[in-house]
Amino acid sequence: MSAENTDFAKALREAGLRATQQRTALLSILMEAVDHPNADELLARARGLDDSVSLATVYRTLSALEEAGLIRKLTLENEPARYEITPVAEHDHIVDIDSGEVIEFASDEINRLRADMAAKLGYEIISQHTLIRARRIRPD
């Protein structure tokens, strides 16, 4: 087992999960992903590592990883959910409604405004996520 797989196994155990081959593989795939893959895309990538992986296994594993707080599910309107490793720093997403591209962005200013608004209402933010559906502006 490589050092990276050992790190994934340790993260799984610390989250209270057994370090199965499927869980380790999906964590590895999500860590390396530059996009936000959906379950079908994760299945295709996982089968590149282990052709015995089924879609049911992918969904069970994603559910367990999400419940353990290791990954985050991005629910998009009228589209399959997409997944990412739980971010170290909070960030938001813009979804291009024409291409389906998911773009991450982080803004200290937006986070500060959110915290101020929550505090004014008597709350402390535990977690947050904004999904903006947008269309690219075409120059005239």
Q: Which residue's entry shows tokens 């399959």?
A: 80
Q: Reply yes or no on whether the pLDDT at 2 is more than 80.
A: no
The vertex-12 CA angle with 10 and 74, nearest 5°, equals: 135
pTM of the full predicted structure?
0.70
Q: Reply yes or no on whether the pLDDT at 69 is more than 80.
A: yes
Instruction: Read off the pLDDT of each residue in 38-65 and give the average, rounded to a whole number.
Output: 92
- Residue 48 tokens, joined: 């590149």
Q: Which domains does the chain have, with CATH numbers?
A: 3-85 (1.10.10.10), 92-134 (3.30.1490.190)
Q: What is the pLDDT of residues 117-129, one digit of tens each?
A: 999 999 998 877 7
What whole-number distance in Å separates Cα of residue 56 and Cα of residue 82? Answer: 16
Dihedral angle computed from the Cα positions of residues 113, 119, 123 and 125, in that order, rounded to the nearest 10 degrees: 30
Instruction: Read off the pLDDT of each residue in 67-83 and give the average, rounded to a whole number.
Output: 86
Residue 44, amino acid: A
